Structure 1
Amino acid sequence: MGDAVYDAKSTALLLVDPYNDFMSEGGKVWPLIREVAEEVGLLDNLRTIARAVRDAGIQVVIVPHRRWQAGDYASWGHPNPNQRKVMAGHHFARGEWGGEWHPDFAPQPGDIVASEHWGSSGFANTDLDFQLKQHGISHVIVAGLLANTCIECTARYASELGYHVTLVKDATAAFRREMMHAAHQLNGPTFAHSIVSTRELVEALPEA
């Protein structure tokens, strides 16, 4: 499921939740995704993609989850199960190492950092759609974490808003292989225009 054409001026990489807690040794969530992440080559593939899109002149957009801080969700009427996990585990805590960017995926000059999302969608209640439209973006490449939550929800929302959506199946990870299968084999084909590997994506990008 590929054959997409990516124009550098109208394409953006959405790099979702590149926090130490997710991607670094010692991170709070890393042990839960490590097996799948290492199996697919998550970190090396993300490095390859980040380098390739920047070489091609494609816009990089960091799509960050809300950094936990004391009081978050505590008075909410309906925090969802993932928000309850963040509340209990203090994931991506503001001001702590776990809530800092993984050093290989920190924003660089010219990158856009969207406002933080409270739930799974990088678009809901953030400025992401506004930022993309202001930069003339019509095609989004979605990579990062987690495959069956923030990646799927952000990509599905992008499709609903009219963007051309590419999922990169080996540039994400999940807690279990079954979740990866659901994200890319069952659910992804219902909204994504292209589902590719890192190699297939890089080969389809424009020349530097």
Structure 2
Amino acid sequence: MDFDDTAALLVIDVQLGFDDPSWGARDNPDAEANIGRLIAAWSDASRPIVLVRHDSIAEGSPLDAGSPGNAFKDVVADAPHELLVTKQTNSAFYGEPDLHGWLGARGIRQLVIAGIQTNMCVETTARMAGNLGYDVTVPLDATHTFDLEGPGGIRLTAAELARATAVNLSGGEFARVVTTDEVLDAARG
């Protein structure tokens, strides 16, 4: 793993609305601290940082645009950044302004993706980035998700979903799945 000076950090949906108890049990209580470490390292190295915010249009959503839950958490609220992408879907590549166009105009080919939720917006954005030809790295411990129920009452814990995301991204060759420490070591080297 080797990051050039243009490697962009995408910080996805680190918003207050994800603290709402309606989401249920979450994993990885260190996610926000690790995201903060990545932001600090990227800022110190003058590498590009992109913040992504989910502006929900679902009635009553904790992430509803204009609601207090739509705001960024403290770890991200004052983060220096070159671009803010707002979206209403799982992928940052379907947001405004056009993320792919912005990255392409700057010759950015390497992405480090962190944020919330591991198996939703982080995974979807990473899969799309991989399909678009980016060199994608996901520090899994700089993400978190929530327990989720699927068809027939099947319920997976947040930790199980995070492991599934790691397998999907790595096994499917969409992204390199590592730790925050590994990213920081490579970024310094």
Question: 1:135 aligns to what?
Answer: 106
Question: 1:158 aligns to what?
Answer: 129
Does the alignment pair 1:48 with 2:37? yes
Is the CA contact (8 Å cut-off) linking 2:166 and 2:177 kept in structure 1?
A: yes
CA distance in 1, matches of 2:162, 2:81: 32
CA distance in 1, matches of 2:115, 2:81: 19
Does the alignment pair 1:5 with 2:2? yes
Alignment of 1:48-197 (within 5 A): 48-65=37-54, 67-68=55-56, 72=57, 87-106=58-77, 108-114=79-85, 116-124=86-94, 126=96, 127-175=98-146, 176-197=158-179
State the shift of 1:133 in Å.
Answer: 1.3
* AA of the residue aligned to 2:91: S
Deviations 1:98-143 (A, max 9, x none): 11111220254552112x2221111025411111112221100000
State the shift of 1:54 in Å.
Answer: 1.1
Deviations 1:16-74 (A, max 9, x none): 0021112xxxx32686354x131xx1111111111111112210001221x23xxx4xx
CA distance in 1, matches of 2:87, 2:65: 14
Is the CA contact (8 Å cut-off) linking 1:107 and 1:113 kept in structure 2?
A: no
CA distance in 2, matches of 1:106, 1:134: 26
CA distance in 2, matches of 1:169, 1:124: 22
State the shift of 1:88 in Å.
Answer: 4.9
Corresponding residue pairs, total: 177
What do you get for the CA RMSD once the two structures are aligned? 2.0
Q: Aligned in 2, Cα 1:102/1:199: closer, same or farther, shift over 3 Å?
A: same
Question: 2:20 aligns to what?
Answer: 28
Question: 2:149 aligns to what?
Answer: none
| Structure 2: tracts of 5 or more residues without a match | 147-157
How does the TM-score come out when normalised to structure 2?
A: 0.85
1:123 counterpart SS class: helix
Percent of counterpart pairs with the same letter?
Answer: 28
Q: Aligned in 2, Cα 1:140/1:181: closer, same or farther, shift over 3 Å?
A: same
| Structure 1: tracts of 5 or more residues without a match | 73-86
How does the TM-score come out when normalised to structure 1?
A: 0.77
CA distance in 1, matches of 2:21, 2:170: 24
Q: Aligned in 2, Cα 1:188/1:148: closer, same or farther, shift over 3 Å?
A: farther
Higher RCO (CA < 8 A, seq sep 6+): 1
CA distance in 2, matches of 1:187, 1:165: 9
1:152 counterpart SS class: helix
Q: Aligned in 2, Cα 1:112/1:29: closer, same or farther, shift over 3 Å?
A: farther
CA distance in 1, matches of 2:9, 2:73: 17
Is the CA contact (8 Å cut-off) linking 1:12 and 1:61 kept in structure 2?
A: yes
